[in-house]
Homo-oligomer: A and B are copies of this chain.
Amino acid sequence: MKKSIGAKTIVYPNPVFIIGTYDKDEKPNAMNAAWGGISCSNPPCVSISLRDATYTHGNIVYRKAFTVNIPSEDYIREADYFGISSGRNENKLATSGLTPVKSELVDAPYIEEFPLVLECKLVNTTELGLHTHFTGEILDVKVDELFLDNGNPDIEKIKPFLYDHSFMAYYGIGKRLGKAFSIGKDLKD
């Protein structure tokens, strides 16, 4: 029996995207965004939503670029910290000890220690309410060589994690359950 719990922003899984930007003075910043996801295959795009009160929001409007950095479990403390401090008041990357690298493709920094990064050029901005929805075209994906398997990113090596908004907790990735576009084939036939 289903019970109504009201109009809440609960889905599974929510990502933990660390957004890399430069401010007007070229100070690199990193923030933690749970609202977002891939939004187009061609051109490849990823969308993220930010409140305009955030420092990163202003940086994206000004630079028209951002990176999406996927942290591994090993950096859960740093990723969480990026979500509870503002770049307006501090240099979060310096405090974290992580290394911002200037992208050669877009006007934004990525985080060297995070296993997978997307370099994005802003292509669409939509005001939805409290959040502005930014869509970036993915110009390149960079992955640590250690985390590749036959040239493809390996989720089991990368060990990303996800955000549970219901209880405000992080969870790791579990077991491989089956092959997509395959495990349901018997129902089709």
Chain A residues with CB under 8 Å of chain B are 1-15, 17, 34-47, 49, 51, 68, 70, 73, 76-85, 95-96, 112, 116-118, 123-124, 126, 128-131, 133, 135, 137-145, 148-149, 151-155, 158, 160-188
Residues B11 and A46 in contact, CB atoms below 8 Å apart: yes
User: What residues of B have a CB within 8 angstroms of the CB of A182 in the complex?
Assistant: 80
User: What residues of B have a CB within 8 angstroms of the CB of A4 in the complex?
Assistant: 140-142
In the complex, residue of chain B having the shortest beta-carbon distance to the beta carbon of A17:
B11
Contact of A171 among B15, B155, B188 (CB under 8 A): B155
Given A138-B9, A164-B155, A180-B80; A40-B133 close (CB under 8 Å): yes
* A–B pairs, 19, beta carbons within 8 Å: A1-B144, A2-B145, A3-B143, A7-B139, A9-B45, A11-B17, A11-B37, A12-B155, A12-B158, A12-B173, A35-B38, A36-B39, A39-B133, A42-B130, A45-B131, A155-B164, A170-B178, A171-B173, A174-B174
Residues B49 and A40 in contact, CB atoms below 8 Å apart: yes
Given A117-B2, A173-B171; A184-B83 close (CB under 8 Å): yes
User: What residues of B have a CB within 8 angstroms of the CB of A130 in the complex?
Assistant: 40-42
User: What residues of B have a CB within 8 angstroms of the CB of A77 in the complex?
Assistant: 183-184, 186-187
User: What residues of B have a CB within 8 angstroms of the CB of A82 in the complex?
Assistant: 184
In the assembled complex, the Cα of A165 lies from the Cα of B70 at a distance in Å of 14
In the complex, residue of chain B having the shortest beta-carbon distance to the beta carbon of A130:
B42
In the assembled complex, the Cα of A3 lies from the Cα of B148 at a distance in Å of 9
In the complex, residue of chain B having the shortest beta-carbon distance to the beta carbon of A137:
B7
User: What residues of B have a CB within 8 angstroms of the CB of A78 in the complex?
Assistant: 184, 187
In addition to A3-B144, A35-B39, A77-B184, 13 A-B residue pairs with Cβ atoms within 8 Å of each other are A9-B40, A11-B46, A11-B68, A12-B15, A37-B47, A39-B47, A40-B131, A41-B129, A84-B184, A126-B135, A162-B162, A170-B177, A173-B174
